[in-house]
Amino acid sequence: MSTIVDLRSDTLTQPTPAMRKAMFEAEVGDDVQGEDPTVNRLESRAAEILGKQAAVYVPSGTMGNQAAIKAHTQPGQEIICEERAHIILYEMGMPAAFSGCLVRAVPTPEGMLRWQDITPRLRPASDHYRGTALIEVENTVNIAGGRVYPLEQLAEIGREAKAAGVKVHMDGARVFNAALASGCAVSDIAATVDSMCFCLSKGLGAPVGSIVVGDKDFIEEVRLVRKALGGGMRQAGVIAAAGLVALEESPKRLHEDHENAQYLAGEIRRTDGLRLDPDVVETNILFFTTLPGRIPGAELRLRLKQHGVLVSGAGDRIRMVTHQNVDRAGCVRAIEAIRAELAPAGESQERQAQPVGGSAY
């Protein structure tokens, strides 16, 4: 086990021995011609598990979300999402730059839209505007602390959106974590939306790749957008093989990550000078800040690095994400390092503050 405890993100997971073996042995072909048997198998298993007609393998969550947005919309149309959505904060402004859409970003207390947040912003096309084409929901909600949409809240959005003739796309980067926390199948969550992009390369531990699911015609359109973006990956079976192992095996162990996140949350709540924010931890992501007068969060991030504990964050907010390459002993080490740096008076807090770089997750 590495001496570094890397809690920056579950995007940092290393492929398991089973994934490496599958990659080594993968049968491959030209996926742009639809001839890679391993990619084909991954796509059909993903569609089956998610309960949708079809699936397409894409290089990243960002490409999956943005290709889906492009396929659902026309330039000038509007997209409604929560204001902390990954699609607007961390995807290079692509809803505007690539799809030419106007985003109506809605603030909510918990990072999750309710139908009543959406209705006042819905606009049918008129002589003055192109109207709402898409509602986007993120599940789990990364920047809100890995929060999970209640299934009924999603079902209401899905029902009402359908009646209004508006599509719903889910950024389900961590939908397997959401399903575990909700005690339902991923297909129950997928049933509430028209399309979803989920990631193999986060908590599921694959080295590369995400999947977009939806109905057949929509997925054919996403496939064309993927090609236009340079995402036709030829003998992609080499990486899809790891994705298949991730899809079949990794959901069984996600409870360990949630238990580790609960452990970290419990210890942070008990540590003088820290505040868990939000206080609710449902999956594998948690955020905390230091209280006024204590070591600033940005500096704490730098100091933890000297203990071999890596965390992410922005400004005073620190993020920790549990995953398959950090075990309970690693989480205990992280807490010990945090407490050592928060120790009152003297040693560590009087150390020279180091310059703090830009914010990054």
Binding site for ligand TLP (CB under 6 A): 9, 11, 60-62, 86, 90, 138, 142, 171, 173, 199, 201, 210, 361
Q: With contact defined as beta carbons under 8 Å apart, do 189 and 178 qualify?
A: yes
Q: With contact defined as beta carbons under 8 Å apart, do 75 and 211 qualify?
A: no
Q: Shortest distance, CB of residue 281 to ligand TLP, whole angstroms?
A: 16
The region that residue 234 occupies, defined by phi over 0 for left and psi between -120 and 50 for alpha, beta otherwise, is left
In angstroms, rounded to a whole number, what is the distance separating the alpha carbons of residues 169 and 98?
Answer: 17
Nearer to ligand TLP, 66 or 289 (CB): 66
Nearer to ligand TLP, 111 or 273 (CB): 111
Q: Shortest distance, CB of residue 140 to ligand TLP, whole angstroms?
A: 7
Within 10 angstroms of residue 41's Cβ, the number of other Cβ atoms is 16
Q: Shortest distance, CB of residue 58 to ligand TLP, whole angstroms?
A: 9
Q: Shortest distance, CB of residue 107 to ligand TLP, whole angstroms?
A: 18
Length of the chain measured in residues: 361
CA angle, 77 then 83 then 88, to 5°? 60
Nearer to ligand TLP, 261 or 342 (CB): 261
Residue nearest ligand TLP by beta-carbon distance: 61
| Amino acid (1-letter code) at residue 291 | L
CA angle, 188 then 114 then 124, to 5°? 100
Number of DSSP helices (H) and strands (E) in the chain, helices first? 14, 13
Nearer to ligand TLP, 84 or 333 (CB): 84
Nearer to ligand TLP, 209 or 273 (CB): 209
Nearer to ligand TLP, 199 or 337 (CB): 199
Residue 317: HSE in the Cβ half-sphere, 13 Å Cα cutoff = 15
In angstroms, rounded to a whole number, what is the distance separating the alpha carbons of residues 319 and 323?
Answer: 13
Residue 141 has what DSSP assignment?
B
Q: Where are the alpha helices (DSSP H) in 2-60?
A: 17-25, 37-50
Q: Shortest distance, CB of residue 351 to ligand TLP, whole angstroms?
A: 28
Q: Shortest distance, CB of residue 56 to ligand TLP, whole angstroms?
A: 15
Q: Hunting for tokens 């990486």 — which residue is that?
A: 239
In angstroms, rounded to a whole number, what is the distance separating the alpha carbons of residues 244 and 228?
Answer: 25
Nearer to ligand TLP, 319 or 333 (CB): 319
CA-based radius of gyration for the chain? 21
Nearer to ligand TLP, 304 or 342 (CB): 304
The region that residue 84 occupies, defined by phi over 0 for left and psi between -120 and 50 for alpha, beta otherwise, is alpha
Q: Shortest distance, CB of residue 142 to ligand TLP, whole angstroms?
A: 4
Q: Shortest distance, CB of residue 209 to ligand TLP, whole angstroms?
A: 8
Within 10 angstroms of residue 161's Cβ, the number of other Cβ atoms is 22
Nearer to ligand TLP, 12 or 164 (CB): 12
Using DSSP, state whether 197 is helix, strand or coil: strand
Nearer to ligand TLP, 9 or 235 (CB): 9
Q: Shortest distance, CB of residue 310 to ligand TLP, whole angstroms?
A: 12
H or E stretch at 129: none
Within 10 angstroms of residue 354's Cβ, the number of other Cβ atoms is 12
Q: Shortest distance, CB of residue 323 to ligand TLP, whole angstroms?
A: 10
